[in-house]
Amino acid sequence: MTEPVLVEQTFFLRDDVVSIALELIGKLLIVKNQGVVKAGIIAETEAYAGIGDKASHAYGGRRTTRTETLYRAGGTVYVYLCYGVHHLFNIVTNQENIPHAILIRGILPVNEEAIPENFRDRFEAWNGTANGPGKLTKKLGIHAEHNAIMLNSGSIWLYEFPESHPFEIVTTSRVGIDYAGKDAYLPYRFYARHYKPAKV
């Protein structure tokens, strides 16, 4: 296993949110809370394609206190409370004022040897599964205060494994967005074939 390298902001400034969502599968997410480090491999994602996407919070160019984060530059973290119960973690993509984002829906456990050396000291492994957007934020300790922070700036990092060979990917429509009309059928959801999502 080679040492993971940081994913640069330029990756998130690209305008193709759907392919970025696919490319996020297999990348390494690291969260540090009060010195404690938790991590996971991204295994399931969904793209939300901005003002033209009925499933997006920014559909129609809606700008509110909550959606303001979506209009930030690619690489910004968007966390919001869903059903009054779960915090959901997204990564904003594209240039400032273009509210694209990717919902991270599932992660796989990762062992200490796979994460960068400087995080191993206070690494805490977790077990079980985190196949659901609300479950993974709980596992990693992602919360409302992470909203609007920048990736790789001291709390949440994204790494990739340069020499890893890509996971086999399954593409489906998105989950839980029946209100989005025909956009509910768009093939904007991706997951690793060897990962078992809560919903197929």
Partner DNA sequence: ACACCGATTATCT
Partner DNA sequence: GATAATCGGTGTA
- Residues of the shown chain interacting with DNA in the complex, contacts defined by CB under 7 A: 46, 48, 55-57, 62, 64-67, 70, 78, 80-86, 88, 90, 101, 103, 132-135, 175-177, 179, 198
Q: Given the complex with DNA, which of 80 and 123 has the nearer CB atom?
A: 80
Question: Least distance in Å: CB of 116 to DNA?
Answer: 27
Instruction: Please state, in angstroms and rounded to a whole number, the distance separating the CA atoms of residues 92 and 103.
Output: 9
Tell me the three-class secondary structure of the chain, residue by residue: CCCCEECCHHHHHCCCHHHHHHHHCCCEEEEEECCEEEEEEEEEEEEEEHHHCCCCCCHHHCCCCCHHHHHCCCCEEEEEEECCCEEEEEEEECCCCCCEEEEEEEEECCCHHHCCHHHCCCECCCCCCEECHHHHHHHHCCCHHHCCCECCCCCEEEEECCCCCCCCEEEECCCCCHHHHHHHHCCCEEEECCCCCCCC
Q: Given the complex with DNA, which of 119 and 188 has the nearer CB atom?
A: 188
Q: Given the complex with DNA, which of 84 and 162 has the nearer CB atom?
A: 84
Question: Least distance in Å: CB of 71 to DNA?
Answer: 12
How many angstroms separate the Cα of 3 from the Cα of each of 16, 44, 122, 123, 165?
27, 23, 18, 16, 14
Question: Least distance in Å: CB of 47 to DNA?
Answer: 9
Q: Given the complex with DNA, which of 23 and 45 has the nearer CB atom?
A: 45
Question: Least distance in Å: CB of 34 to DNA?
Answer: 22
Question: Least distance in Å: CB of 30 to DNA?
Answer: 20
Q: Given the complex with DNA, which of 158 and 175 has the nearer CB atom?
A: 175
Q: Given the complex with DNA, which of 1 and 85 has the nearer CB atom?
A: 85
Question: Least distance in Å: CB of 124 to DNA?
Answer: 19
